[in-house]
Amino acid sequence: MTTILKPHGTTEDDITAEVLRRFDATGEPRLRQIMQSLVRHLHAFVKDVELTEAEWMNAIQFLTETGHMCSDKRQEFILLSDTLGVSMVVDLINHRKPEGATESTVFGPFHREGAPELPAGGNMAPRDMKGIPTVVSGRVLTLDGEPIAGARLDVWQADSSGLYDSQYAETDELHLRGQFRTDEEGRFLIRTVRPVYYAIPTDGPVGRMLSATNRHPWRPAHIHFVVSAEGYEPVTTHIFDDADPYLESDTVFAVKDSLICTFVRHDIREPEAARFGLEPPFCTARFDFVLKRRG
Ligand code: BEZ
Ligand code: FE
């Protein structure tokens, strides 16, 4: 009787097993774990949906376009990761905080280096004439409630039209960005405009994915912060306006209850206005950041 030798890779599962085997020799154990898990999940996904050749080609074109859309002002891959919820899963896995420490959320694609150092009360939005003047104040504290002096707050937000400075093609100027420091009692004071809800950029493949799946592109109004201090773990986070209609459906899944903050609107002249040199209407918001010691 003749034995028929089965060539490698006759079935779908043979291919998966053989690809996994080829990564067995990877010297770096973490890289081996990542590559083999990636292959396992990717193959399972393709088999699960029985991907057609046309769909596979579509996916290749989508990823190619995503790459072409990237520049030093635009990061379509981060946007894709954000809208698929991957960024928030990575955030949650990597920042398991003790009770009481300020929670982190997505970094997003709009941070820029080199924001101006501003004094307490410095205005991040000197050219935004439409926005409601807003003062954000609070303290940076330890888990025990002690003030952290000299903590740095790197702050950025969209303007009252819902756009970041880098989305204006005609200028490279930094606007609605600032770096603030806390005083001896851990206090900070930021002058800005009230944030508004805005749509993430929809003129690329991520926008097409959202509209093809009937998803909206809106992010609830927020201000971005990276808060850091010597000897403490920095936190990348936002504060969200509690009056926003998109808190429940943020297109990048980044809202956490502990980051929701009340923006109080002041419509009449009151001592608060004089303190900040503001004419009504204006808003005030208070938020304390709590950092965990390193190690
Ligand atoms: C942002 O908040 O700046 C942002 C985050 C994720 C995707 C797009 C924008
Ligand atoms: Fe944002």
Phi/psi for 15 (5° steps) reads -60, -50
Q: Which residues pair with 124 in a beta bridge?
A: none
State if residue 225 touches ligand 1 by the CB under 6 angstroms criterion.
no
pLDDT value at position 74? 86
47-77 pLDDT tens trace: 999 999 999 999 999 999 999 999 887 899 9
Cα of 220 from ligand 2 centre, angstroms? 9
188-226 pLDDT tens trace: 999 999 999 999 999 999 999 999 999 999 999 999 999
Q: Which atom of ligand 1 is nearest to the CA of 79?
A: 7
Range with the lowest mean pLDDT among 202-206, 250-254, 280-284?
280-284
Mean pLDDT along residues 285-290 = 98
In whole angstroms, how far apart are CA 251 and each of 14, 62, 106, 200? Answer: 39, 19, 12, 8
Write down the domain spans for the chain. 12-51, 77-291
Whether residue 2 is predicted with pLDDT greater than 70 in this model: the reply is no
* Whole-prediction pTM: 0.91
The whole-chain average pLDDT of the chain stands at 94
CA-nearest residue, atom 3 of ligand 1: 108
| Correct CATH for 77-291 of 2.60.130.10, 2.40.30.10, 1.10.3720.10, 3.30.565.10 | 2.60.130.10
Cα of 24 from ligand 1 centre, angstroms? 38
pLDDT value at position 3? 61
The pair of structure tokens assigned to 230 is 């010597």
138-167 pLDDT tens trace: 999 999 999 999 999 999 999 999 999 999
pLDDT value at position 92? 93
8-state DSSP, 288: -
CA 138, distance to chain mean position in Å, is: 22
Pairing of strands 235-241, 222-228: antiparallel
Ligand nearest to the CA of 204: 1
State if residue 156 touches ligand 1 by the CB under 6 angstroms criterion.
no
In whole angstroms, how far apart are CA 41 and each of 13, 20, 38, 48? Answer: 13, 11, 5, 10
